[in-house]
Amino acid sequence: MTTLEGSPAVRRLTAWEPTRLESLAGEYGTPLYVLDLDRVRENARRLESAFPDAEILYAVKANALKDVLETLHGEGVGLECASAGELTRALAVTDSGAEVHYTAVNPPARDLDIAVEAWEAHPELTITAGAEDTIDRLEERGYDGRLCLRVNPGIGAGHHEKVQTGANAKFGVPAERAVDVLADAADRGFDVVGIHAHVGSGVSSDQLDAHREFVSRMGELARSVTAAVGDLEFLDIGGGFGVPYREDEQPLDLEAVADATREAVGEVDVQLTIEPGRYFVADAGVLLTTVNTVKDARETTLVGVDAGMTTLLRPAMYDAYHPIRNLTADSSDTERSREETAQTIAGPICESGDVFCTDRKLPESERGDLLAIGNAGAYGYEMANQYNSRPRPASVVIDDGVARLARRRETIDDVTSVERER
Ligand code: LLP
User: How do residues 273-292 score in pLDDT, each as one tens digit?
Assistant: 999 999 999 999 999 999 99
314 is in an annotated binding site: yes
Query: Residue 200 C-alpha to ligand 1 middle, in angstroms?
Result: 7
> Annotated catalytic residue: which of 81, 148, 350, 357?
350
CA 52 to chain CA centroid, nearest Å? 22
Question: Would you put residue 230 in left (φ > 0), alpha (ψ -120 to 50) or beta?
Answer: left
CA distances from 133 to 10, 154, 200, 307, 333 (A): 42, 20, 23, 41, 63
Q: With a 6 A CB cut-off, is 390 part of the ligand 1 pocket?
A: no
Instruction: Give the amino acid at 271.
Output: Q
Task: Say whether 148 is catalytic.
Answer: no
Q: Nearest to residue 27, comparing CAs of 402, 330, 367, 346?
A: 402
Question: Is 401 labeled as ligand-binding?
Answer: no
Neighbours of 125 (CB within 10 A): 25
Amino acid at residue number 379: Y
Task: Determine the distance separating the centroid of ligand 1 and the alpha carbon of 319, expressed in angstroms.
Answer: 16
Specify the ligand 1 atom closest to the Cα of 278: 14
178-229 confidence digits (pLDDT tens): 999 999 999 999 999 999 999 999 888 888 899 999 999 999 999 999 999 9
pLDDT in tens, 233-268: 999 999 999 999 999 999 999 999 999 999 998 888
Q: What is the pLDDT of residues 123-171, one digit of tens each?
A: 999 999 999 999 999 999 999 999 999 999 998 888 898 988 888 889 9
d(Cα 45, Cα 283) in Å, to the nearest integer? 14
Place 3 in a pLDDT band, splitting at 50, 70 and 90: very low
Distance 218 CA to ligand 1 centre (A): 19
Q: What is the mean pLDDT of residues 4-29?
A: 93
How far, in Å, are 233, 234, 301, 373 from residue 269 at the CA level?
8, 9, 59, 44
Annotated binding residue at 240? yes
| CB of 362 shorter than 6 A to ligand 1 | no
**According to the annotation, is 351 in a ligand binding site?**
yes
Q: Assess whether the C-beta atom of 163 lies below 6 angstroms from ligand 1.
A: yes
For residue 333, the model assigns a pLDDT of 64
| pLDDT(1) > 50 | no
Task: For the chain, list the domains and their CATH numbers.
Answer: 37-280 (3.20.20.10), 283-416 (2.40.37.10)
Instruction: Say what the pLDDT of residue 420 is.
Output: 86
Question: What are the tens digits of pLDDT across the range 31-89?
Answer: 999 999 999 999 999 999 999 999 999 999 999 999 999 999 999 999 999 999 999 99
| Ligand 1 lined by 276 (C-beta under 6 Å) | yes
Residue 335 annotated as binding site: no
Whether ligand 1 lies within 6 angstroms of the CB of 322 is answered as no
Asked if residue 236 has its Cβ within 6 Å of ligand 1, the reply is no
Q: How far is the CA of 175 from the centre of ligand 1 (A)?
A: 20
For the Cβ of 315 lying below 6 angstroms from any atom of ligand 1, the answer is no
139 assigned binding-site residue:
no
pLDDT of 333-369, one tens digit each?
655 689 999 999 999 999 999 999 999 999 999 999 9
Q: Has residue 271 got a pLDDT over 90?
A: yes
- Mutate which of 43, 61, 63, 379 for ligand 1 pocket (most atoms within 8 A of beta carbon): 61
**CA-closest residue to ligand 1 atom 22:** 201
- The closest residue, in CA terms, to atom 16 on ligand 1 is 379
Q: Does the CA dihedral 201-286-273-92 come out positive or negative?
A: positive
Regarding beta strands 394-399 and 32-36, do their DSSP bridges make them parallel or antiparallel, or are they unpaired?
parallel
pLDDT greater than 80 at residue 371: yes
Cβ(69) to ligand 1 under 6 A? no
